[in-house]
Amino acid sequence: MPWKNDQVSEIETEKIIELARNQLSCQGDFVELGCYKGDTSLLLAEVLKGTEKKLWIYDSFEGLPEKSEADESALGRNFKGGELYVTKREVKERFLRAGLSVPVIKKAWFSELTGKDLPEEVALAFLDGDFYESIRDSLKLVESKMAEGGIIVVHDYQNPALPGVAKAVEEWAREQKKTIKTYQSMAIINN
């Protein structure tokens, strides 16, 4: 792997690549909500190289939003509004430097996005917004777009520093009657 992923562990990175490769036979594109510098986006783009599928990535490009009460934890003090700031241009330039197709890159708060901002069908959704409202909004956004056999991967589901992620996933899974599988910190939900 020519670039280091500093937000996702190596073992999780391997799993994401494996899941992404498996999803190549599923209808639809790949989306990532919460791309930050694009480390995982680059991996996904590498998997999609030479295929018809597109990658769509989303971020505020203003860093994290403010926390809600559901996100409070002693371990998560470093996760604050405005942290993880990066510009859209920096992310775009990383793709150009890597010689990979530049994905559809959308700058928005997830709460401002609608179905029109997403592809018609999603084969793989990687959700990495860290906070309760960010994950809740991401799940709501992708739920009606998931292809038959599509998968949703939520990072930090089992991260005690980010308790809002598990709360959002569990509320949504209960409502949608979905089963949550886990791998390291991630939740994996099959459509």
Ligand X SMILES: C[S@@+](CC[C@H](N)C(=O)[O-])C[C@H]1O[C@@H](n2cnc3c(N)ncnc32)[C@H](O)[C@@H]1O
Residues making contact with ligand X (CB under 6 A): 5, 7-8, 32, 34-37, 39-40, 59-60, 63-65, 84, 109-110, 128-131, 134
Rounded alpha-carbon distances, angstroms, from residue 74 to 6, 33, 87, 161, 171: 22, 25, 29, 7, 23
Find the shortest distance in angstroms from Cβ 138 to ligand X. 8
Residue with the closest Cβ to ligand X?
34
Nearer to ligand X, 12 or 119 (CB): 12
- Tokens for 86? 């990066």
Find the shortest distance in angstroms from Cβ 177 to ligand X. 25
Nearer to ligand X, 27 or 73 (CB): 73
- Tokens for 60? 């505020």
- Tokens for 27? 């209808």
Find the shortest distance in angstroms from Cβ 123 to ligand X. 17
* Beta carbons within 8 Å of 170's beta carbon, 6+ residues apart: 180
Tell me if residue 71 falls in helix, strand or coil. helix
Rounded alpha-carbon distances, angstroms, from residue 149 to 19, 41, 104, 137, 182: 12, 21, 23, 22, 17
Rounded alpha-carbon distances, angstroms, from residue 50 to 12, 100, 101, 117, 185: 24, 10, 10, 24, 30
Find the shortest distance in angstroms from Cβ 117 to ligand X. 12
Nearer to ligand X, 8 or 168 (CB): 8
Nearer to ligand X, 64 or 123 (CB): 64
Nearer to ligand X, 81 or 182 (CB): 81
Find the shortest distance in angstroms from Cβ 98 to ligand X. 14
